[in-house]
């Protein structure tokens, strides 16, 4: 070995990825526990039942957590996104994040008294406005369509009634 050559230093594993593994294990275990505690008898003709999807997702999370935990000490790292149109040197926009969190809290507070259709329309329109849309009337119209469509999708398609609020009897 010449004096100008340096031996390759081994790549140190990114130990912060173990936090991701831990979260995956916790969520996967919770899904499995919660799915197995669902009582039988929701639908007599449903061969799949309500347990299948949470069990599949929970087991998948546990398997992926094990695979990631094996890959981390081997130096496996994700590649940086080269195609993103972002400037990593720009500071975070905490104002936008705060406004979106505030809208979500407002949705939680207003969904019972106003109902999903009105609260959801305000939420969708507010999010579009916070994220930069200046077409306020169009934001409200699209928000109303999304809220009413999701109201009926949950009620008719899934059999899950969302709160109607002040529109009870109209929707």
Query: How much is the pTM?
Result: 0.58
Query: Which comes out higher in pLDDT, residue 138 or 83?
Result: 138
Q: Spell out the residues 6+ positions from residue 100 whose beta carbon is closer than 8 angstroms to its own.
A: 127, 130, 131
d(CA 109, CA 160): 20
| Cβ 38 vs Cβ 58: under 8 Å | no
What tokens does 113 get?
């008294």
Task: Domain ranges for the chain, please list them.
Answer: 15-74, 94-167
pLDDT of residue 49: 72
d(CA 1, CA 10): 18
Percent of the chain at pLDDT > 70 equals 82
pLDDT tens digit sequence for 53-109: 899 999 999 999 999 999 888 877 666 666 667 776 778 889 999 999 999 999 999
Residue 10 reports pLDDT greater than 70: no
CA–CA distances in Å: residue 76 to residues 25, 50, 67, 107: 19, 36, 11, 41
């Amino acid at each position: 070995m010449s004096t100008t050559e340096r031996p390759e230093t081994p790549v140190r594993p990114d130990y912060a990825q173990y936090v991701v593994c831990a979260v995956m294990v916790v969520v996967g275990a919770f899904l499995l526990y919660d799915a197995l505690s669902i009582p039988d008898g929701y639908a007599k003709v449903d061969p799949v039942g309500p347990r299948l999807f949470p069990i599949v997702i929970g087991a998948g999370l546990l398997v992926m957590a094990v695979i990631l935990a094996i890959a981390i000490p081997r130096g496996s790292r994700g590649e940086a996104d080269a195609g993103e149109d972002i400037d990593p040197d720009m500071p975070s926009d905490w104002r936008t994040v705060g406004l979106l969190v505030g809208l979500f809290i407002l949705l939680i507070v207003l969904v019972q008294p106003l109902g999903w259709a009105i609260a959801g329309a305000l939420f969708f329109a507010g999010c579009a406005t916070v994220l930069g849309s200046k077409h306020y009337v169009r934001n409200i119209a699209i928000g109303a369509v999304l809220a009413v469509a999701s109201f009926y999708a949950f009620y008719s398609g899934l059999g899950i009634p969302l709160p109607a609020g002040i529109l009870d009897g109209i929707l």
